Each structure stands twice: as structure tokens, then as C-alpha cells.
Amino acid sequence: MRPSCCHTFILIAALAQIPGVALAAGGIFGFVDDDGVEHLSNIPDDRRYRLVLADRFEPARAALRTPRGVLALPYNQRPFHDSVQRASLDTGIDAALLHAVITVESGYNQAAVSPKGAAGLMQLMPGTARRYGNANPLDPSENIRAGANYLRDLLAMFDNNLELALAAYNAGENAVIRHGRRLPPYAETQRYVPLVVAHYRRLGGR
């Protein structure tokens, strides 16, 4: 993918919203050539390329390679564990799985809001938050409870298939159903699912 145009930030925003656009580990890179043309690519094969849009999953990937800070802690010592444990007991969702989702979705930033409007520790879209009674998505306990309930329902919907439930959490349940109850062919979803599973296993999940 080597698009170029004169409206860099408009194109970057568009790329970030398209599920099928793959971002390399470093994200999207860009530079302006001698003719004033702006180039964007996920393959920085020219020394002039500079990072212009980071891959949001890179911190979670880096934590698998070299855990640091809160992500180096056992899950039961991480922030918000009391709320995670309550949600786990209420829904039957493994606390380690909830921590894995939080790790990848927000990195424990309770004030995180994505460009698409997903908010809070578990990055719930506004409609999903309302569906599960999460009036304040930035409230950690409310957000975790709603996210856990959503995951419980997704696991039930997809016969306890963890990968499909996580794909639905990322891309929406209709996307998984529309693609034959298989992992949708979206680059972000295909990176997201194995990353959450990897963190879940690292935290002792099975």
C-alpha cells in the first residue's frame, strides 16, 4: 500500500477508520517528496518516511516482548482488580481474560477514548455501553461490568468460541455472523484476537 495525496491528515483519518487497511508494527508512515507530493505507506522502505499514525496495538505487543510497569504485574495485582474480580464473579468470565482485554484495549487508561468513540478501560462503543447500562463509560467499575456482560453474551452467542467472541468484541457480532461465523477479514481484528489471546495465556488463562 503506497498511497499519496495532498491532504495527508484527511487520508490518515480515513485509513484509520477502514477495517481492511493493515498497519505494520510501526503504523502508517509518510513524507513529502521534492515535488511537494505527500506519500503514505505502511511499508517504510524509503529513509524519508516518518511515523505519522501509530499502531494502537504496539504497546500491548511490546508488553509481551518486555513487560514493564503495570503490565509486568500479575493480573491480581493490577489496577482495578477489585472491580474486575466482582465482574468476573457476576458473569463467570475469567478475571484473567478481562485483564487481557483491558491490556489490549486501553492499557489501563480509564480515560481512553478512541477516534471512533469507544471509551473507558474496555473501550465500549456508545451503543454497547447504553445496551449494558453503562451510563458513564469512563467510570472504571461501570465500564468493566458492562464489558464483562458483553463478553459473556458474545461467548454464549458463539458457543464459547473465545476467538469468535473476541472478534465480535472488536468488530461487532454482525460482522462475525456476516462472514459465516468466522474471523472477519479485517486487519485490525486479525491482529486484535491473537494479541488478546496471547495476553490471556501469559496471565494464566487457558
Question: Is the separation of the CB atoms in 92 and 98 below 8 Å?
Answer: no
Inform me whether the pLDDT recorded for 136 exceeds 70: yes
For the stretch 75-125, pLDDT in tens is 999 999 999 999 999 999 999 999 999 999 999 999 999 888 999 999 999
Give the whole-angstrom CA distance, residue 91 versus residue 65.
31
Q: In this predicted model, which residue has the larger pLDDT, 40 or 177?
A: 177
Give the whole-angstrom CA distance, residue 102 versus residue 104.
6
Indicate which residues carry an active-site annotation. 105
Three-state secondary structure string covering the chain: CCCEECCHHHHHHHHHHCCCCCCECCEEEEEECCCCCEEEECCCCCCCCEEEECCCCHHHHHHHHCCCHHHHCCHHHCCCHHHHHHHHHHHCCCHHHHHHHHHHHCCCCCCCECCCCCECCCCECHHHHHHCCCCCCCCHHHHHHHHHHHHHHHHHHCCCCHHHHHHHHHHCHHHHHHCCCCCCCCHHHHHHHHHHHHHHHHCCCC
Alpha carbon dihedral 19, 185, 120, 142, in 10-degree steps, equals 140
Instruction: Locate 176 and state its grid cell.
Output: 462475525
pLDDT at 20: 37
Q: Which of 31-35, 60-64, 70-74 has the highest mean pLDDT?
A: 70-74
Query: What confidence category does residue 41 fall into, taking pLDDT thresholds of 50, 70 and 90?
Result: low
Residue spans per domain, the chain = 4-53, 58-202
pLDDT at 131: 95
Inform me whether the pLDDT recorded for 44 exceeds 70: no
Inform me whether the pLDDT recorded for 55 exceeds 60: yes
β-bridge partners, 30: 40, 50
pLDDT at 16: 41
Q: pTM of the entire structure?
A: 0.76
Class of domain 58-202: mainly alpha
Give the whole-angstrom CA distance, residue 115 versus residue 123.
11
pLDDT at 10: 37
